[in-house]
Amino acid sequence: MAAMISRRYLSSTTRLAASVKGAPEMPGCDFKPVAYKGLNMEETVKLRKSHLFPSTQSYAYYKKPLMIHQGHMQWLWDHAGKRYLDMFAGIVTVSVGHCHPKVLAAAEGQLKKLWHTTSIYMYPGLQEYVEKLTSKMPGNLKNVYLVNSGSEANDLAMLLARLHSGCYDIIGLRSAYHGTSPNLLGLTALSTWHYNLPVGFGIHHTMNPDPYRGIWGGKYCRDSPVQTTRNCDCQSDKACEAGNQYIAQLEDVLRFCCPKGRIGGMFAESIQGVGGTIQFPKTFLQRAFKIIRDHGGVCISDEVQTGFGRTGEHYWGFEAHGVVPDIVTMAKGIGNGYPMAAVVTTPEIAKSLAAASHFNTFGGGPLACAIGSAVLDVIDEEGLQQNCAKVGTHFLEGLAKLQENYEIIGDVRGKGLMVGVEMVKDRKSKTPLPAADMAEIWETTKDLGVLIGKGGYYGNVFRIKPPMCITKEDVDFTLDVFKTALDRYSGKR
């Protein structure tokens, strides 16, 4: 009887997913969501417009907004019962799957015992969790400060860098996104996130080492299963010439913009997320960090989007660059959607925060530690890092094949399940595909049952960062949907 109900439900959701004529067939799912009984769409939109900030309203995302009702692993259901494959993971946040049974059980168990107390008291969950987390870190990265968001983590990391180095000035990369707190608005180097306000005191940005859209770079530069088709002076078996040029730009910023011979620190994402899944030349970060240390600064790796095995080959994105940072910040996937984040550093740097009181009321609470611990277990037990490498490479190679047939796909890049597809009018000019055209393709992928994100300065990069539990079948369905959306855009159907 249960099997009959499951088949009946699968048939129903398949019909819903295929409501757009010619839709690729969605992979099956045995999970049955509960029926939605809340506000209708019209009432929800009305209340949203009445009570939320206008900036929040703009993130309804689609022309025909989605009202998400329930989630299970890589799947989401809207209020009408239509199923979607979530290939954006709540903006790179749902690491092991929506409502993962083990994480859910850990949360429920902790909720029945103790919701909240602060770190002024001893409770075993905090100590157990940070020991488990630091076991994943290389070198002497052994001290943890738990907070609630990536912005909080990066804000604290900036404070630590300044205190420890005794120098106020910080280096960042253009096109970087590190958060939107008052301090971090100056570090985030995308004008689309800036207000006409004085921010960024003591922060200097060096040229972004982008092998696709930057001044230098090409087909031998990236650590990725796929390379840009752009030619450059680099050779596969020799030093990266593009990396040399971008390092020279960093040295120029230090020479002319910073206190002579000194810097407080440098922030870098392993792969830039909001900036458009931008990867640096292979040797850039290693050489940049050495220069920063030679100038007395500390090196901060922002692993908010690239951590916890997402890039596949390593547990942390910075490991692929051959570096061990002085400070690592992490959030998003750390709690699989629960608001938590962390700063991990060395004992020596951690002592810099002891001169005055510094406290976070909710950081590292019992519920957060229980959830975070369960997430770490699931990543290991289910081999999700390895899944990212295997399924992500399959995905990138599939996208590269699509690129061969569609002139508007300018670049495919990424590693593991950190994937970007840059859309252009044509490959020669690299003129960004206009917003209306991007929206048309984007809307079609949603109507066909796949949710993806957008990013980059021009908003012309499809950001694809799904829960790490997706399968090759899910990837093949996504490729079919993307191809169908491109065909419809191109007028081939």
Residue whose entry in the numeric block shows the structure tokens 């299970």: 72
The strand order across the sheet containing 461-464 reads 409-415, 418-423, 461-464, 453-455
Q: State the Cα–Cα distance between residues 94 and 403, nearest whole angstrom.
A: 28
**What was the pLDDT predicted at 67?**
93
Residue at 309: amino acid letter: G
Tell me: the pLDDT tens digits for 7-52?
Answer: 333 434 444 444 556 789 999 999 999 999 999 999 988 998 889 8
Which structure tokens are listed for 472?
Answer: 């090759």
User: Does residue 237 register a pLDDT over 70?
Assistant: no
**What was the pLDDT predicted at 441?**
96
Q: Tell me the Cα Rg of the chain.
A: 23
For the segment 156-169, the average pLDDT, to the nearest whole number, is 97
- Domains of the chain: residue spans and CATH: 2-96+384-490 (3.90.1150.10), 103-381 (3.40.640.10)
Write down the mean pLDDT value for the chain: 92
Q: 301, 329 in Cβ contact below 8 A?
A: yes
Which structure tokens are listed for 374?
Answer: 């369960």
Percent pLDDT > 90 in the chain is 82
Contacts of range 488-492, beta carbons closer than 8 Å, 24 or more positions apart: 488/444, 489/408, 489/437, 489/440, 489/441, 489/444, 490/406, 490/408
Tell me: the pLDDT tens digits for 339-369?
Answer: 999 999 999 999 999 988 898 999 999 999 9
Q: How confident is the model at residue 59 (pLDDT cuts 50, 70, 90)?
A: low
Which structure tokens are listed for 85?
Answer: 């494959």
**What was the pLDDT predicted at 18?**
46
Q: 230, 217 in Cβ contact below 8 A?
A: yes
Q: Which residues of 133-166 are buried (b: 16+ CB within 10 A; e: fewer)?
A: beebbeeebebbbbbbbbbbbbbbbbebbbbbbe
Q: Are strands 75-78 and 83-86 parallel, antiparallel or unpaired?
A: antiparallel
Give the H or E element holding residue 267. strand 265-269
CA 209 to chain centre: 19
**What was the pLDDT predicted at 63?**
84
What's the full length of the chain, in residues? 493
Q: 175, 167 in Cβ contact below 8 A?
A: no
Nearest C-alpha neighbor of 406 from the set 426, 391, 384: 426
Residue spans of beta strands (DSSP E) within 384-478:
409-415, 418-423, 450-451, 453-455, 461-464
Nearest C-alpha neighbor of 184 from the set 397, 394, 331: 331
**What was the pLDDT predicted at 238?**
66
Count of beta carbons in the 10 Å neighbourhood of residue 247: 20
* Least confident stretch, 17-31, 237-251, 313-327, 374-388: 17-31
Tell me: the pLDDT tens digits for 271-289?
Answer: 999 999 999 998 999 999 9
For the segment 53-60, the average pLDDT, to the nearest whole number, is 70
Which structure tokens are listed for 154?
Answer: 């990066």
Higher pLDDT, 133 or 19: 133
Residue at 342: amino acid letter: A
Q: 201, 223 in Cβ contact below 8 A?
A: no
**What was the pLDDT predicted at 492?**
63
**What was the pLDDT predicted at 57?**
62
Nearest C-alpha neighbor of 43 from the set 70, 17, 65: 65
Percent pLDDT > 70 in the chain is 94
User: Does residue 2 register a pLDDT over 60?
Assistant: no
Tell me: the pLDDT tens digits for 202-219?
Answer: 999 999 999 999 999 988
**What was the pLDDT predicted at 9?**
36
Q: Which CA distances in Å does 182 have to 161, 179, 187, 195, 290?
A: 17, 9, 10, 10, 29
**What was the pLDDT predicted at 230?**
86
Query: Environment class of residue 113 by beta-carbon count within 10 Å: exposed (0-12), middle (13-18) or buried (19+)?
Result: exposed
Q: What is the pTM for the complete model shown?
A: 0.93
H helix runs in 183-309, sequence order: 241-257, 284-294
